[in-house]
Structure 1
Amino acid sequence: MIRLENLTKFYPSKLGNQYIFQDINFTVPEGHNIAILGSNGAGKSTLFRILAGSEYPNKGKVITDKEISWPVALATGIHPQMTGRENTRFIGRVNGVADLDAYEEKVKDFAELGVKYDLPVKSYSSGMRSRLAFGCCVAIDFDIYLIDEATSVGDQKFRKKAKDALLEKSKVASVIMVSHDMKEIREFCDSAILLHKGELGFYENLEEAIETYSKL
């Protein structure tokens, strides 16, 4: 269960507070893989960050009893002074991974870092950092995976590997996805939340949601 209670989010401006959401009450339906759709500026990324806990509402709260991933494609929490292995172990501890040794090796294999796994992350390319963060995320069994343009990580071979891994996760866990690629959304999602003028609407039928979104 994910429930938004009296959720309000605004950004200050010279013209006063610009509200993205105001006193929103909404429950995200369970048992669905959900796309977040909306026009530019509708608040998709803001909602995504609030669900991830990387941004806070000005008022209200998010209530959940689910284990939610950080946004899969983002190198969130990766410390540049630590090695890939040290980062992996730290992330594993924070997320309650029982067998850290097995987790380390699983991430190393998935991220394809080779000997660089034991070098400081500050020496990594941006693609290597993203592969490490992606590997750390998909190697943990979350209830819900937050996917934000995640299949753009790395080269073509790794993008396919990442996509296949996430599709497998979507069979046993739920996903909430933000993407501008309708083909990708159709592959991962079966339903959608449409954001429009500060309101959230759930569409159980994904194609109906996409058709409504295309007319906005």
Structure 2
Amino acid sequence: MIKFEHVTKIYKNKKFENTVFRDLNFTLRRGQSIGICGANGAGKSTLTRLISGVEKPTFGKITRNMSTSWPIGYTSAFQSSLTGADNCRFIARVYGKKEDELLAYVEDFAQLGPFFRQPIKTYSAGMVARLAFGVSLAIHFDCYLVDEVTGAGDERFRHRCHEALIERRENGTLVMISHDFNTLREYCDSGAVMYQKQLHLFDTIDEAITFHQEKQSQS
């Protein structure tokens, strides 16, 4: 369970203050798969950072008793001068996983061939994305966060990503942000919409998509 109680998030400096959302109250439960819609800048990514614990609320309380992933496919955390394998070794140590097992999984999943042991700065964007997906899925969490990205590479690799996400959804909690409604329908049962600094919750993803489309057409 991850519970938000009267959570407000404000970014501010000497000349600017932005209240992203205020007084959020909701609970994410084990086994839930929820898709989050919202216009650009509505606060969706900020919400995922609070869910994961990367950021803290300005006001309010977040109770978390589930382990939570970083956004699946996130590529910005790699050290580009290190090899893909060395980056995996570092992540294994951070999460207390066996290095050999994690490396074997990522090498098989990402299918980078000899590049797996070359510096990441020599990779194409697609290769980095494949490595990121492999590392993201190599560690098992109670709650998985997916922010926009759901696949990279050829059809075979995208199919492997799809199967892996379905397996994670069936055995844990999935929180997905995407502007692609078909993707949300594919992976999510319930839905939510970030609108006017509030999170509006719906029992089905289709209800959430309809609400989002209606509000967008009015703006």
TM-score (norm 1): 0.89
Letter in 2 for 1:50: L
What root-mean-square deviation, in Å, do the aligned CA atoms of Structure 1 and Structure 2 show?
A: 2.1
**Taking structure 1 as reference, are residues 11 and 115 closer, same or farther at Cα in structure 2, changes over 3 Å only?**
same
- How much does 1:62 deviate? 3.0
Runs of 4+ in 1 over 4 A off after TM superposition: 13-16
Q: What is the number of equivalent residue pairs in this alignment?
A: 215
CA contact (8 A) 2:32 2:172 kept: no
- How much does 1:76 deviate? 4.1
CA contact (8 A) 1:20 1:198 kept: yes
The equivalent of 1:64 in structure 2 is: 64
CA-to-aligned-CA distance 1:117-143 (integer Å, 9 cap, x gap): 111112212221121111011111111
C-alpha separation in 1, matches of 2:91 and 2:116: 15
C-alpha separation in 1, matches of 2:121 and 2:147: 24
The equivalent of 2:209 in structure 1 is: 210
The equivalent of 2:19 in structure 1 is: 19
Gaps of 5+ in 1: none
CA contact (8 A) 1:73 1:149 kept: no
C-alpha separation in 2, matches of 1:50 and 1:166: 22
**Taking structure 1 as reference, are residues 120 and 67 closer, same or farther at Cα in structure 2, changes over 3 Å only?**
same
Gaps of 5+ in 2: none
C-alpha separation in 1, matches of 2:171 and 2:117: 32
Letter in 2 for 1:196: Y
Work out the percentage of aligned pairs sharing the same amino acid.
41
The equivalent of 2:116 in structure 1 is: 117
The equivalent of 2:180 in structure 1 is: 181
C-alpha separation in 1, matches of 2:14 and 2:100: 52
**Taking structure 1 as reference, are residues 34 and 125 closer, same or farther at Cα in structure 2, changes over 3 Å only?**
same
Letter in 2 for 1:33: S
Equivalences for 1:69-108 in 2 at 5 Å?
A: 69-97=69-97, 99-108=98-107
